[in-house]
Amino acid sequence: MKTSIIHAFFAIILVAAIGCKKDLTQSLNESAELQSQMLPADVQAEIDQAIVEIENDYNNPPSDGVVGNRAVVHVPAGSVDALQDAIDEAGWGGKVIVESGEHWESETVVIDHTVRIIGQDGAKVYFNTIAASAKNEQGYVLTEAGFHVKNANHVWIKGLEIYPQQSTGSMAIWLEGGRMARIEGNKISAFKYAIWLSDNSNAVGIYDNEIDGASNVTIWGITVESGKSVKIKENHLDQCVVGIFLSDERSITKDNHVSNSVMGYLLCTVQGTIVKPDGELLQPAISCAKAKLIRNNAQNNYWNYLVIDGAHHNFLVRNNASNPGLYDVELAGPTSRFGFPAPTSYSNFVVNPNSSIITKDCGVDNTVLGGTMVNNEEDPCF
């Protein structure tokens, strides 16, 4: 979705007096709701397989030990521009220990080989990226990454607190073709884009990170622009425009928490007037397809879950939601609400855990079980 439409999101919030229009909804009775918990056998099999897959990866991380003669390099507290040299010195398969305390980096740290970057408790890295507000003469958003994982497999970034040196930063972590990476246990604050996956960053695990949007500085928290089989679990995101933005295939998103944002979980197509850190203009990605969102949590977001712009064949199963500004779950039809034409969502499968979850379906061939459905005749699609 185009960055230029962010103002439109907030304009919508300002007219939120339309509310959820709960008086226009029709609640399912208790027996129907209990019946809705029974998934078709083929759907249940897919969900069970996804749970096994993500839990196995989450609970069985690669060892952080060192094999053979691979190097371990320590970066002491108070370091200035030391991480790049440490990564290069550690070499392929090595490990960099970022010691407790502050570390200052004036340029992007490029990771182009397999390496593990492990922060001790209290390790804080401050990046001097361009400001979140930076634009070029054409008005395109400019970006610059703190960490840039560039076509490197099995990279592990763990246990760091990552901040901008100024009040706001551009991008904290960019995976460009970073296959089988693991981004785990980091705290990221005040970056416009916190974690961004592109260029077929496949089989990445994003686990136990805390992303603080710092009063909506963060536009996109976790963004999967391009990738397959990405796994996202136990992340906590607050005060973003979009908490978790999925524009990929076959991702598994489970047990995450997004609050106080415009959109908690967005299944859509990444696009916009954005210049990526490599200087290339962002090209429209694919629509989110075959994603599985399982038992996630969303509270106090304008949309808790929004499926839009051609997103299809996704599964949203027993996700919790509360106190939306508009709807808990919306399966959007064809719309130009954000200033450009977006095709309908279709063939998605939603099962809500209880009747308090407000769901609006304007798409095509979607299946919704459980929850409370909005009456589209009285509250028209837009």
Q: What is the largest CA-CA distance in the chain?
A: 69
Q: Mean pLDDT throughout 161-170?
A: 93
Please tell me the predicted confidence (pLDDT) of residue 217: 78
Task: Give the tens place of pLDDT for each residue, 227-270.
Answer: 999 999 999 999 999 999 999 999 999 999 999 999 999 999 99
Q: Mean pLDDT throughout 170-179?
A: 95
Q: What is the CA radius of gyration of the chain?
A: 21
Which domain, by its residues, includes 49? 3-10+23-59+137-143+169-374
Locus of tokens 């439409």: 5
Residue 299 forms part of a structural domain: yes
SS3 content of the chain, % helix, strand, coil (to 5): 15, 40, 45
C-alpha to C-alpha distance for 361 and 168, rounded to whole angstroms: 37
Q: Is the dihedral of CA 299, 352, 193, 219 positive or negative?
A: negative
Residue 106 forms part of a structural domain: no
35 or 238: which leads in pLDDT: 238
Locus of tokens 């949309």: 303
C-alpha to C-alpha distance for 361 and 367, rounded to whole angstroms: 9
Residue 191 forms part of a structural domain: yes
Please tell me the predicted confidence (pLDDT) of residue 66: 52
Q: Mean pLDDT throughout 173-195?
A: 96
Please tell me the predicted confidence (pLDDT) of residue 70: 77
Residue 280 forms part of a structural domain: yes
Please tell me the predicted confidence (pLDDT) of residue 37: 61
Whether the per-residue pLDDT at 315 is higher than 50: the answer is: yes
Whether the per-residue pLDDT at 20 is higher than 70: the answer is: no
Q: What is the mean pLDDT of the chain?
A: 89
pTM over 0.85: yes
Whether the per-residue pLDDT at 155 is higher than 50: the answer is: yes
| 310, 287 Cβ separation under 8 angstroms | yes
Residue 67 forms part of a structural domain: no
Residue 41 forms part of a structural domain: yes
Residue 149 forms part of a structural domain: no
Residue 290 forms part of a structural domain: yes
- Count of domains observed in the chain: 1
Q: Mean pLDDT throughout 326-338?
A: 95
